[in-house]
Chain A
C-alpha cells in the first residue's frame, strides 16, 4: 500500500508537472499569464477526437496535427490579440480569459458533451510494479514527462532560440540590444506553451474523458503548481509538482479523499505565507529589493 501510494504519487506529480509546464514556460519567457491555457488543452483534445473519429485519420497523425494546430493557435493569439496589449498585465489576463471562455463555451454550445469524447490509450496494458498494478499510459506519462523536462532544459540551454528565450526572460531590454526580437520570442513562447498543453492533453485525456469543464480544472492546477514553485521557474514547477502530487495521494490514502483538496490548498497557502514569490520565484524578492 505504501509503495503503491508512492508509485501513484510520482505519476500524479508528473501529471501536474505536465499540466503546468506550458503555462510556466510562456509566463517565464514573455511574462504573459495565458489564462486560455486550459481551453487550449481541451481544444487540442477535441481536435484529436474529431480527426480520429470523424475524419478517420490514424491516431498518431491526428495527435500530431492537433499539437501543431494548437501551437499555431497559441502563436496566433499572441500575434493577433496580445501584441496590442503587451506589457499591460491586466489587459493580457482579460484577453486570455476571454479567449479561453469563448473556446470552452463554444464546445458546450455545440453539444460536445458526453462520455464518449475520449482519446485512446497508447498501449492497452497494465504492469505489476512493486506489487501494484499500473497501466501503461501512466508509465508513459511519467516517462514522457521526464523526457520533456530534460528536453526543455537542453532546448533552453543549448539552442540559439532557447538561449534567446532565456535572454528575454532575464532582461528584455538588454536582449533587444543583442538583436533578439522580443515579439518573435513571445510568439514562440505562446506557441510552445500551447503545444505543451496539447501534448499534456494527448497523454492525460485517455485516463478520463474530454469535457469543457476540464479546461477550468487544468488552469487551476497549472496555476497552483506555478504559484507554489514560483511563477516562471522551471525548477519550481518540478518541485511544486512533486509536493502537490505527493500531498494529494498520501492524503487520499492515509487521511481521506475529501481532505485532498483542503490539504493541497493549505500547502499553497503555507508556501505563500513563508515565501510569497513561491519556492523558486524571484519577482517579489526583486520588488522588495527595489
Chain B
C-alpha cells in the first residue's frame, strides 16, 4: 500500500513537472518573423542581417510582451530570387506562400524585392492575413491598391522609401545642382522595372518639365544590361551636364566605370546601388570623386552625426558583423520594422493580425531613419527633417574618398562641389 502510494506520488510529481515544463515552453514559444526576399542581392542580404540584429537585441532585452507573457522573436527566411533577371513573378510568389504556410509567421518583414512581385503577392498576403512591413519594393502602385480596397489589403505596410518620395529627393538634388552651377540639361537612364520607371517618369513630369530643364534623352535598360556606351556617347554629343541614373542592379556598376573611362563631361547624380556603400571607393578604383548618390533611408549605407540614432544603428551593425552596411536601401527600415512590429504587438496584446494592423496604423516613433508615421496608403512618410519624418539623404563622393551628405539641408555636412573637369555655368 505504502509502495503504491510512493509510485502514485512519483507519477504525480512527473506529471506536475511535465505540465510545468510544458506551460513554460508555451510561454517561451517564439513569435516567427518571416523574411521572404531576394537574399542573393546585397539589399536583401543586409536587410536580413539588420532584422536579425534587431531580433537579437529584443530577445536579449526579454523579448516581446504579448498579454501577460514575454515571448522571443525568431527569424525564418526564404530566398524569393525575384530580383534576378529572368525569374518570373509566379515563381517568387511560390516562395512567399511557402514561408507563410510552412513557418506560420506572425508577420513578414522586408518582403519581395521587386515591386512587380509585391503587387502580385498582395493577394496572397491578404488571403492569409499576415501583416507585411515591406522594406525594399518601392512602386506606389501597392499604396493605390490599399487605398482602393483597404479592408482587403490593410495588412501591407512599407517603411522604406517609395518612388514618390524618392522623386522629391531627386528633384531637390537637381534643384541644388541648378542653383549652384546653373546646369539645366539632363540625360535620364533608368532600369526597366516598376519603381525605377515610375521614379524617372515622375521626376521628368513633376520637376524637369516644370522648371525649364531640357531632358536630352530618357533611356530604359532591361535588368542585366552591362553596356551603357551608346547612351554615354549621346550624353556627350547632346551636351547634357547631368546624368540622372536610377538603377538597383549590380551591373549598373558598369555604368560608373564606363562614365569614368569615357571621360563623359557630366555629373552623375541619382541612384546607382553599387555607388552607395563605402566599399565603392575601392570597387571603382577611387575614380568616383564628385559623383552624388541617393541613400534611400538614412542609416542604410550611411549615418549622420546630425541625427544620432542613424549613426548609432550604422555603428552597431559594423560592430556586430565586422563590416559597414553597403546597401543604400533596405537595412535601416528593416531594422526599424522589427521594433515597429514589436511595439504594435505589445500594444495589441495579441498576435491577431487585425489587432496588429490596427496598432501598426497608429505607429509614431523616432527611429533610425527619422520619425516613422504611416499615411493612408500605409507608406511611411518621408520628408526633409528627421525630427518630423523619415528621411533619405544625398551624399557626394569627395576626391579623397569620403562621403559627405549634401542634402537635405537639415543634415547636410557640406555644399555640393563641382567635379573635376566640369565648369560651372554661373
Q: Which residues of chain A have a CB within 8 Å of any CB of chain B? A: 1, 4-5, 8, 12, 108, 111, 113-116, 118, 120-121, 124, 126, 132-135, 137-138, 207-209, 211-213, 216-217, 220, 248-249, 252-253, 256-258, 260-261
Interface centre among A5, A113, A135 (most CB of B within 10 A): A113
14 A-B Cβ contacts within 8 A? A1-B237, A4-B229, A5-B233, A8-B230, A114-B42, A133-B261, A133-B263, A213-B40, A217-B85, A248-B227, A249-B229, A252-B227, A258-B220, A258-B222
Which residues 250-288 in B have Cβ within 8 Å of A in the complex? Answer: 250-251, 253-254, 257-258, 261-263, 273-274, 277, 279-280, 282-283, 285
A120 to B282, CA, bound (A): 10
The chain B residue sitting closest to A53, CB to CB, is B282
A108 to B45, CA, bound (A): 10
Q: Mark interface residues in B209-245 (1 if CB within 8 Å of A CB, else 0).
A: 0000000000111101111011101100100000000
A257 to B230, CA, bound (A): 9
Interface check B119, CB cutoff 8 A: no
Are A212 and B40 interface neighbours, CB within 8 A?
Answer: yes
| Chain B positions within 8 Å of A121 at CB level | 285
Interface residues on B, range: 35 or more
Are B326 and A116 interface neighbours, CB within 8 A?
Answer: yes
Given contacts A126-B262, A207-B254, 9 further A-B contacts (CB under 8 A): A8-B227, A116-B282, A126-B261, A135-B261, A135-B262, A216-B85, A249-B230, A252-B230, A253-B234
The chain A residue sitting closest to B261, CB to CB, is A135
Cross-interface CB contact of B253 among A118, A133, A138, A213, cutoff 8 Å: A118
Are B230 and A208 interface neighbours, CB within 8 A?
Answer: no
| Chain A positions within 8 Å of B261 at CB level | 126, 133-135, 137-138
The chain A residue sitting closest to B263, CB to CB, is A133
Are A115 and B219 interface neighbours, CB within 8 A?
Answer: no
| Chain A positions within 8 Å of B237 at CB level | 1
| Chain B positions within 8 Å of A114 at CB level | 42, 279, 326
Are A207 and B279 interface neighbours, CB within 8 A?
Answer: no
The chain B residue sitting closest to A206, CB to CB, is B257
A213 to B39, CA, bound (A): 12
**3 closest pairs, A vs B, by CB?**
A135-B261, A252-B230, A115-B274
A216 to B41, CA, bound (A): 15
Nearest-Cβ distance from residue B85 to partner chain A, whole angstroms: 7
A240 to B1, CA, bound (A): 96
The chain A residue sitting closest to B278, CB to CB, is A116
| Chain A positions within 8 Å of B85 at CB level | 213, 216-217
Interface check B180, CB cutoff 8 A: no
Interface check B201, CB cutoff 8 A: no
Interface centre among B79, B251, B261 (most CB of A within 10 A): B261
Are A249 and B227 interface neighbours, CB within 8 A?
Answer: yes
Cross-interface CB contact of B230 among A5, A207, A211, A213, cutoff 8 Å: A5
| Chain B positions within 8 Å of A126 at CB level | 261-263
Are A115 and B254 interface neighbours, CB within 8 A?
Answer: no
Residues A1 and B222 in contact in the complex (CB < 8 Å), given A212-B40, A216-B86: no
Are A108 and B79 interface neighbours, CB within 8 A?
Answer: yes
Are B220 and A257 interface neighbours, CB within 8 A?
Answer: yes
Are B221 and A209 interface neighbours, CB within 8 A?
Answer: no
Residues A213 and B263 in contact in the complex (CB < 8 Å), given A1-B233, A115-B280, A252-B231: no
Interface check B56, CB cutoff 8 A: no
Are A213 and B220 interface neighbours, CB within 8 A?
Answer: no
Nearest-Cβ distance from residue B217 to partner chain A, whole angstroms: 10
